[in-house]
Amino acid sequence: MADGRRSIGTLAAFAGPCIPLAAFGLPLVITVPTYYSETLGVNLALVGYAFLAVRLLDVIFDPIFGTVLDRTRWSFGRFRSWLAISVPILMGSIYMLFFAKEGVGFWYLFTTLLFVYGGYSIAVLSHTSWAATLSTDYNERSKVYGWWQTFNVVGMICILGLPIILGLAQLVKGPDDVIQYQGWFILALLPIMVGIAVWRVKETPSKSVSHAHDATLADYFRLIRRPTVVRILLADLLTGLAPGITGILYFFYFTRVKGFTGIEPIALLLVYFLAAVFGAVIWTTLAKRTGKAKALIAGCVVYAIVQFVVVMLPAGNFLLAIPFLIAAGLPFSAGPLLLRSMMADYADEERLMTGQDRTGLLYAILTGTVKIGTALASLSLITLEAIGFDAKTPALSTPLSMQGLEYLYAFAPGIIGLLAAACMIGYPLTEAKHADILRQLGEKDGAVPPPQPEDLVAVQPVSITPDVLPKPAD
Residues 6+ apart with CB under 8 A from 127: 17, 18, 21, 79, 83, 148
String of DSSP letters for 314-328 = PTT-HHHHHHHHHHH
Residues 6+ apart with CB under 8 A from 146: 280, 281, 283, 284, 333, 337
Rounded Cα distance, 17 and 122, in Å:
13
- Rounded (10°) CA dihedral 307, 311, 317, 319: -20
**How confident is the model at residue 205, as a pLDDT?**
67
In tens digits, the chain (474 residues) has pLDDT values of 455 577 888 999 999 999 999 998 878 877 788 788 878 888 878 888 888 888 778 878 888 888 888 788 787 888 889 999 999 999 999 999 998 888 888 899 999 999 998 999 899 989 988 888 888 888 888 889 999 989 998 998 888 788 778 877 777 776 677 888 899 999 999 999 999 999 989 887 665 544 435 667 778 788 888 999 999 999 999 998 998 898 888 888 888 888 888 778 888 888 998 999 899 999 999 999 999 999 999 999 999 999 999 888 888 889 999 999 999 999 999 999 999 999 999 999 998 888 888 888 888 888 878 778 877 887 888 888 888 887 767 777 888 888 888 889 989 999 999 999 999 999 999 999 999 998 898 887 764 444 343 333 343 443 434 444 444 443
Rounded Cα distance, 126 and 359, in Å:
10
Rounded Cα distance, 424 and 428, in Å:
9
**What single letter denotes the amino acid at residue 280?**
A
- Rounded (10°) CA dihedral 33, 414, 279, 346: -90
Rounded Cα distance, 299 and 303, in Å:
6
Q: Choose the CATH number for 8-205+214-446 among 3.40.30.10, 3.40.50.1820, 1.20.1250.20, 3.30.750.24.
A: 1.20.1250.20
Nearest Cα residue to 433 out of 339, 296, 285, 293: 293
**How confident is the model at residue 363, as a pLDDT?**
86
Q: What is the pTM of this model?
A: 0.76
**How confident is the model at residue 265, as a pLDDT?**
87
C-beta of residue 168 within 8 angstroms of C-beta of residue 262: no
**How confident is the model at residue 437, as a pLDDT?**
92
The secondary structure element, H or E, covering residue 59 is: helix 44-71
**How confident is the model at residue 3, as a pLDDT?**
53
String of DSSP letters for 182-251 = HHHHHHHHHHHHHHHHHHH---PPP--S-SSS---HHHHHHHTTSHHHHHHHHHHHHHHHHHHHHHHHHH
Rounded Cα distance, 373 and 246, in Å:
12
C-beta of residue 203 within 8 angstroms of C-beta of residue 79: yes
Rounded Cα distance, 255 and 314, in Å:
13
**What single letter denotes the amino acid at residue 61?**
F
Rounded Cα distance, 13 and 399, in Å:
50
Please give the distance of CA 129 from its chain centroid, rounded to a whole number.
Answer: 11
**How confident is the model at residue 151, as a pLDDT?**
93
**What single letter denotes the amino acid at residue 141?**
R
Rounded Cα distance, 236 and 342, in Å:
11
Rounded Cα distance, 2 and 79, in Å:
15
Nearest Cα residue to 303 out of 245, 382, 222, 224: 245
**How confident is the model at residue 469, as a pLDDT?**
41
**How confident is the model at residue 452, as a pLDDT?**
41
Rounded Cα distance, 283 and 333, in Å:
8
Rounded Cα distance, 425 and 381, in Å:
32
Rounded Cα distance, 438 and 345, in Å:
9
The residue extents of the domains of the chain are 8-205+214-446
Helices (H), 72-174: 78-98, 106-132, 138-168
Nearest Cα residue to 346 out of 201, 447, 232: 232
Q: Please return the burial class of 86, using the count of CB atoms within 10 Å of its CB with bins 0-12, 13-18 and 19+.
A: buried
C-beta of residue 364 within 8 angstroms of C-beta of residue 69: yes
Rounded Cα distance, 182 and 27, in Å:
9
